[in-house]
Amino acid sequence: MTSAQDQTETRTQTRSCVTGLVCRACNVRHPQSHREAFCEQCGKCYDLDYDYARAKDLFKEIGMGSRPASIWRLEELLPILDSSAAARVGKYAGFTPLIKADRLGAELGLRRLYVKDDSTSRPSLSYKDRVVSMAVARLLELGREEIGCVSTGNVGTAVAALAAKAGIEAYVFYPNRLEMTKARACRALGAKVCQVEGNYDEANRRCREVAKLSGLEFANITLRPFYAEGAKTVAYEIVEQLGWQAPEHIVTAVAGGTLSSRIHKGLEELELVGLAETGHTKLHVAQPNGCAPIADAILQHDTKIHPCEPTTKAHSLAIGKPGDGGLVIDAVEGRGGTAGMVSDEQIFAGIDLLASTEGVLTEPAGGTTIAVLKELAAAGRFDPDEVVVAMITGNGLKTLDDHPRKEWPLAECEPEAMLSVLEEFRHAAAAGHEASSNGVSTQHVGMRA
């Protein structure tokens, strides 16, 4: 392990134009070095502010062509000052593909549908690589060598992977219900995992106390303002990948509300630094019926979030008391978007629809986005020629334990038996059988995943 306090190492500065932390409610300001994440007066999470005029000049001066294909492309508008801290995290999170989804679009009656595919994100296959990269860089900037987190699933794997890359210790606190593959991945990456007997909201509240009592920095608690900044990078990428044209619509799944509220922040900043006009972009948010406090509030025109007890199988969205809920309501309403809620059955159908049309295997969070996208398209929310971007935030390989389709036939290793199974497959395909039955008679079914 290297020591970040090593004074012989010269600290070079990034091009960050950060001016400090600001509480948007109280208007209190602090320098970037301020150590509290939450406003000492009102308890709201601090936001980061920048010298946008300077950033605008720098964007003009240093063209996009010379910048890395990662979240660090946006160096001026990220809050990290110490360039060696950024380098130690590995500059590879972000800049995921924007896929033109023609087959899915044809199903939904949309000619210009795109999928922003964070299921391929490096290193840990979810959008959380963006936010956790920022939290770990901040931690290193502070000279600390261990990091904790409380996670519905994907923050944990991102912390485990990025901490390993940076050569620091990782401690992951998981609630009682999660996809086990995510916890196993953390262990395999060398993180210490503690599963606590409570739901995410309870675990989150307790982790705040643990942070105070232990002095351990938590990626999504004590480092939260920095963590959240990583999420806005996705807005810049979408707009750049569309040729510096902002789409008419962005649809995304929501849990705590960091991603959706920071997509809004990114869109606003794009105008401030003169990179694109984004005022027309509507933001739509998706939640499962079993945990929809934000969507509920938006659909009821309520300005307050009523916390709930999550019951959904979309575990990465199971946050009943969303920290950034208020920001999401403002972002969706300010942009003229809407919200949608879907059942777990629709969520798994959404996973299948994306998989069978685009070959992208997502987890229930992505299934939620696709299911709501489908509902909004059916309700005529999109003009067929408008550009619609669906955020696919996580990878289905991590959630296969929960996937309803797990069976396949076992045949003897000789052509006749294999041919008979193949014939049944073909027969089922020709009959347009439900993919879920695998089209094979039960006499063959000899194996389960």
Ligand X SMILES: *Cc1c(COP(=O)(O)O)cnc(C)c1O
Among 259, 318, 331, 372, binds ligand X (CB under 6 A): 259
Q: How far is the CB of 43 from ligand X (least distance, A)?
A: 19
Is 264 or 282 the residue whose CB approaches ligand X more closely?
264
Stretch that binds ligand X, among 13-21, 101-109, 192-200, 247-255 (CB under 6 A): 247-255
Burial 53-78 (b: 16+ CB within 10 A, else e): eebbebbeeeeeeeeeebbbbbbbbb
**Is residue 399 a contact residue for ligand X (CB under 6 A)?**
no
What does the alpha-carbon distance between residue 133 and residue 161 come to, in Å, rounded to a whole number? 10
Amino acid symbol at 195: Q
- Tell me 398's DSSP state: G
Residue 43: Cβ within 10 Å count = 9
Place of tokens 């997502």: 362
Among 14, 157, 204, 258, binds ligand X (CB under 6 A): 258
Question: Residue 274: exposed, middle, or buried by beta-carbon count in 10 A (0-12, 13-18, 19+)?
Answer: middle
Q: How far is the CB of 428 from ligand X (least distance, A)?
A: 32
What does the alpha-carbon distance between residue 38 and residue 12 come to, in Å, rounded to a whole number? 28
From the centroid of its chain, how far is CA 26? 28
Q: How far is the CB of 424 from ligand X (least distance, A)?
A: 36
Stretch that binds ligand X, among 87-95, 104-112, 142-150, 254-262 (CB under 6 A): 254-262
Q: How far is the CB of 403 from ligand X (least distance, A)?
A: 15
Residue nearest ligand X, Cβ-based: 394
**Is residue 223 a contact residue for ligand X (CB under 6 A)?**
no
Please give the C-alpha separations between residue 56 and each of 22, 51, 274, 278, 309, in angstroms, as whole numbers. 21, 9, 7, 16, 44
Is 140 or 327 the residue whose CB approaches ligand X more closely?
327
Among 254, 297, 339, 387, binds ligand X (CB under 6 A): 254
Stretch that binds ligand X, among 18-26, 71-79, 123-131, 382-390 (CB under 6 A): 123-131
What does the alpha-carbon distance between residue 129 and residue 119 come to, in Å, rounded to a whole number? 10
Residue 240 exposure: Cα atoms within 13 Å on the Cβ side: 20
What does the alpha-carbon distance between residue 90 and residue 6 come to, in Å, rounded to a whole number? 19
Q: How far is the CB of 79 from ligand X (least distance, A)?
A: 17
Is 254 or 273 the residue whose CB approaches ligand X more closely?
254
Is 104 or 331 the residue whose CB approaches ligand X more closely?
331
Find out whether 323 and 329 touch, Cβ atoms under 8 Å: no
Among 128, 144, 224, 284, binds ligand X (CB under 6 A): 128
Find out whether 8 and 26 touch, Cβ atoms under 8 Å: no
**Sign of dihedral through CA atoms 184, 185, 188, 190?**
negative
Amino acid symbol at 183: A
Tell me, residue by residue from 76 to 115, as one string, x for binding to ligand X by CB under 6 A and - for no binding: ----------------------------------------
Among 14, 121, 126, 181, binds ligand X (CB under 6 A): 126
What are 278's two structure tokens? 């984004």
Classified as helix, coil or strand, 215 is coil
Find out whether 251 and 147 touch, Cβ atoms under 8 Å: no
Q: How many residues belong to the site for ligand X (CB under 6 A)? A: 17
Among 247, 256, 293, 325, binds ligand X (CB under 6 A): 256
**Is residue 363 a contact residue for ligand X (CB under 6 A)?**
yes
Q: How far is the CB of 126 from ligand X (least distance, A)?
A: 5
Three-state SS annotation for 377-394:
HHCCCCCCCCEEEEEECE
Please give the C-alpha separations between residue 158 and each of 52, 280, 373, 428, 441, in angstroms, as whole numbers. 30, 33, 27, 40, 41
Among 81, 305, 365, 370, binds ligand X (CB under 6 A): 365
Q: How far is the CB of 430 from ligand X (least distance, A)?
A: 36
Among 255, 327, 371, 376, binds ligand X (CB under 6 A): 255
Bridge partner residues of 252 (DSSP) = 285
Among 204, 316, 338, 438, binds ligand X (CB under 6 A): 316
Stretch that binds ligand X, among 15-23, 95-103, 197-205, 255-263 (CB under 6 A): 255-263
Among 70, 233, 393, 438, binds ligand X (CB under 6 A): 393
Q: How far is the CB of 406 from ligand X (least distance, A)?
A: 21
Is 392 or 440 the residue whose CB approaches ligand X more closely?
392
Bridge partner residues of 114 (DSSP) = 100, 389
Classified as helix, coil or strand, 190 is coil
Q: How far is the CB of 412 from ligand X (least distance, A)?
A: 41
Question: Is there a cis peptide before residue 404, judged by omega within 30 degrees of 0?
Answer: no
Is 45 or 273 the residue whose CB approaches ligand X more closely?
45
Binding site for ligand X (CB under 6 A): 126-128, 154, 253-260, 316, 363, 365, 393-394
